[in-house]
Structure 1
Amino acid sequence: MPRTSTKAEAAPARRLATDYRLEDQVGFLLRKAYQRASSNLVERIGSFDLTAPQYATLARLYERGALSQNLLGRLVAMEPANIRDVVLRLKKRRLVATRRDPTDKRLILIDLTTAGTALVQQLIPIEIACTATTLAPLKSDQKKLLYDLLGRLAEG
């Protein structure tokens, strides 16, 4: 009769000759750092019923003004299907509106509404505080270096 146990039994650790550790992988560390930053943001903007991608979309429109959906998606690093869904949700909440580009009638431009602009202006100081919380463990020179290195990695 097979033995049964109520205790979880630990599997023997498997180690490669290279001593691979997940904690040494840049993607894993970036994901953990992103999760921390995203969690800090969502905690503070959750009462506004916004996700981090929705906030990024609103903030980019605030910075740049009216943009095509394609360009907006690229500027917030989102896939076309994802930016489409984000824009639809924001449009439903009347935070963004669409209109034809006066110089190229084929293009639909997305822009902030008055309510969207007011919301972004309210959220910017909150997002700045979130960034400060995320970067709190770092010294000033380390923060500058981190921004430089992340910028290089992001640009390829």
Structure 2
Amino acid sequence: MTFQLDDSLGFILNRTNLRMKNTLLHHFKDYDVTPEQWAVLNRLWEREGISPKELSELTSKDQPTTVRIISKLEKKGFVKRKGNPEDGRAYLIYLTNKGQALQDKLFPLAFEALHKAIKGINQEQIEQVKVVLNKIFENLDR
């Protein structure tokens, strides 16, 4: 039995992930936002005033990577750090007005990229793929 890379689920997932990230990067280029930064911004649009640790958990990234992303977003003026009133050693992340305004600009671009990705795939198939991928994710957590 031989291993066929082109038939490998991991290879196919990785290749698809790279293509999706590059498509999103292309759509966001005018706003200087990467797909990784997009994920952090998304979580902050859902709920701001959270710690870097919470952000790393919510975006499935390690904490050092999350802190680097936060620093880049801060330099771009999209987020700000404020001291945590419950823990003087820690800080919480908030959106700036500029970061909040990005939501209305980036959502349509993200949907455009998504529609390109799912062209010719019906909603039932999309839901099946989500279920299967989430199951694989859960299986690998054990």
Which residue in the other structure is 1:34 paired with? 17
Which residue in the other structure is 2:82 paired with? 99
Aligned partner letter, 1:141: E
> Any idea what the Cα deviations from partners look like across 1:38-73, whole Å, max 9, x if unmatched?
122111101111111011111111012221001101
Deviation of residue 137 (structure 1)?
Answer: 3.5
Aligned partner letter, 1:63: E
Larger Rg: 1
Aligned partner letter, 1:106: R
| Counterpart Cα distance in 2 of 1:67 and 1:98 | 10
| Counterpart Cα distance in 1 of 2:133 and 2:119 | 17
2:37 aligned counterpart, secondary structure: helix
The reply to whether residue 72 of structure 1 matches residue 52 of structure 2 is no
Is the contact made by 1:91 and 1:97 (CA closer than 8 Å) also made in structure 2? Answer: yes
Is the contact made by 1:68 and 1:109 (CA closer than 8 Å) also made in structure 2? Answer: yes
| Counterpart Cα distance in 2 of 1:121 and 1:140 | 25
2:88 aligned counterpart, secondary structure: coil
Length-normalised TM-score, structure 1 = 0.82
* Root mean square deviation, CA, Å: 1.4
Sequence identity percentage: 27
**Structure showing the higher helix proportion among its residues:** 2
Aligned partner letter, 1:29: I
Q: What are structure 1's unaligned runs of at least 5 residues?
A: 1-17
Which residue in the other structure is 1:3 paired with? none
| Counterpart Cα distance in 1 of 2:80 and 2:135 | 34
Aligned partner letter, 1:149: V
Aligned partner letter, 2:53: N
1:138 aligned counterpart, secondary structure: coil
> Any idea what the Cα deviations from partners look like across 1:51-101, whole Å, max 9, x if unmatched?
110111111110122210011012111122211111111111110001122
Residues 65 and 155 of structure 1, relative CA distance in 2, 3 Å threshold? farther
Is the contact made by 1:36 and 1:134 (CA closer than 8 Å) also made in structure 2? Answer: no
Length-normalised TM-score, structure 2 = 0.90
Match of residue 86, structure 1, among 48, 69, 93: 69
Which residue in the other structure is 2:32 paired with? 49
Which residue in the other structure is 2:5 paired with? 22
| Counterpart Cα distance in 1 of 2:136 and 2:88 | 37
Aligned partner letter, 1:50: V
- Consecutive aligned runs of 4 or more in structure 1 exceeding 6 Å deviation: none
Q: What are structure 2's unaligned runs of at least 5 residues?
A: none
